[in-house]
């Protein structure tokens, strides 16, 4: 198994960043043709998701709606003031598994792999593994 | 590793479909006794979940509550008008990993594997892999 | 592949329990140095998540906010009266995959692995596997 860190840089407080090509690059370099690719986010105020990468308004709508669902809350006790980001991280998750066939991610036609920043801007990273 | 497509047909706009037996069939045909089974949904307005398959009211309650949590929203910008389905997909997720022991899914007594349709009816598919 | 059951005991109706050291113990005993560790929750009213384990207020804030997001609902039809717990389980998920390197979980500095009880107190278990 090969594990590799991939650097990601977010530019805004909240941002959905397409990382599909970064993962495909790491996959190519691994020379593995068939298996499962794991992408892991080692951060607690960010997450990973797979969704539509054709129309950019989908990413915008997801962030907007998550902000309403996980609204700010006077009852939060965590002193850093970023509890909503922690909740969002646990709702979207920090670990993805994508099948690999003939050296390619088996993604649907409209799917892209996204890093979801909920407490940026920050220097982030993801862990790429392949089995 | 073996990857296999399994066809799924949804009949309604929103529907939770039990796919446990379809996955168990593919598992049997793979002849693999121990490992991890990955189920992947290549769609951006549907997802996968594991929940109770004994009382069908649980599926109904989950869909009803998700509809309230991810309500329609005038601020959505995606022109296809199905942004709520995209949000739901990222909340429940599109990738499941289930341990396999002695040729069987290690599911809990009440657990079933579900395909969650959020923008049907459509012809869908899932990708079954086993490691 | 090695599969192992780990017992967990919740003490409250809702509780986020740090299980990182239990998983690390099982990992050590497996003697596997590199791979992917899968943690699976075989229950339908509980889940698994990875989030901050430094400040305990984060766990408290997550439970509090989830309670507001997945509020009780007069429209629930499931007779056991724990539908909110089923919905929460499908939102946070029941399966985690964590990369393993040099015999250690590749977790971020602030990350811990949590069992999320939504309908306790109960005797629970998780399934630990390593590939």
Distance, in Å, from the CA atom of B43 to the CA atom of C20, rounded to the nearest integer, reads 33
Q: Decide if C61 and A42 are in contact by the 8 Å CB cutoff.
A: no
* Burial environment of residue A123 by CB neighbours within 10 A (0 to 12, 13 to 18, 19 or more): exposed
pLDDT score for B2: 76
pLDDT one-digit tens code per residue, A34-93: 999 999 999 999 999 999 999 999 999 999 999 999 999 999 999 899 999 999 999 999
Distance, in Å, from the CA atom of B38 to the CA atom of B98, rounded to the nearest integer, reads 7
Contact C119, C82 (CB under 8 A): yes
List of residues 6+ apart from A23 with CB closer than 8 A: A6, A37, A39, A98, A105, A113, A128
Chain B environment of A105 (Cβ under 8 Å): none
Domain tally, chain C: 1
Domain that holds residue B19: 2-130
* Burial environment of residue B122 by CB neighbours within 10 A (0 to 12, 13 to 18, 19 or more): middle
A3 at interface of C, judged by CB pairs closer than 8 A:
yes
pLDDT score for A1: 67
CATH number at A115 reads 2.60.120.460
Helix ranges (H only) for B1-131 are 20-30, 57-69, 83-92
List of residues 6+ apart from B74 with CB closer than 8 A: none
Of C69, C83, C95, the CB nearest to B97: C95
Of B86, B91, B129, the CB nearest to A52: B86
List of residues 6+ apart from A21 with CB closer than 8 A: none
Distance, in Å, from the CA atom of C113 to the CA atom of C93, rounded to the nearest integer, reads 13
Half-sphere exposure of C9 (CA within 13 A, CB side): 1
Q: What's the pLDDT band for A2 if we cut at 50, 70, 90? A: confident
Q: Decide if A108 and B77 are in contact by the 8 Å CB cutoff.
A: no
pTM for the whole thing?
0.97
Chain C nearest-CA residue for A79: C57
Tell me the backbone φ, ψ of residue A14, rounded to 5 degrees: -125, 135
pLDDT one-digit tens code per residue, C42-60: 999 999 999 999 999 999 9
Task: Write the ipTM.
Answer: 0.96
Give, for all 131 residues of chain B, the pLDDT tens digit. 679 999 999 999 999 999 999 999 999 999 999 999 999 999 999 999 999 999 999 999 999 999 999 999 999 999 899 999 999 999 999 999 999 999 999 999 999 999 999 999 999 999 999 98
- Which DSSP letter does residue B48 get? E
- Report helix, strand or coil for C114: strand
């Amino acid at each position: 198994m090969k594990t590799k860190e991939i650097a990601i840089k977010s530019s805004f407080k909240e941002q959905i960043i397409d990382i599909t090509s970064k993962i495909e690059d790491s996959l190519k370099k691994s020379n593995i043709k068939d298996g499962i690719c794991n992408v892991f986010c080692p951060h607690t105020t960010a997450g990973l998701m797979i969704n539509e990468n054709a129309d950019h308004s989908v990413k915008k709508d997801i962030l907007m709606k998550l902000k309403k669902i996980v609204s700010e809350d006077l009852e939060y006790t965590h002193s850093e003031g970023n509890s909503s980001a922690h909740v969002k991280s646990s709702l979207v998750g920090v670990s993805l598994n994508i099948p690999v066939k003939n050296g390619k991610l088996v993604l649907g036609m409209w799917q892209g792999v996204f890093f979801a920043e909920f407490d940026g801007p920050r220097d982030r990273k993801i862990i790429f593994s392949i089995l």
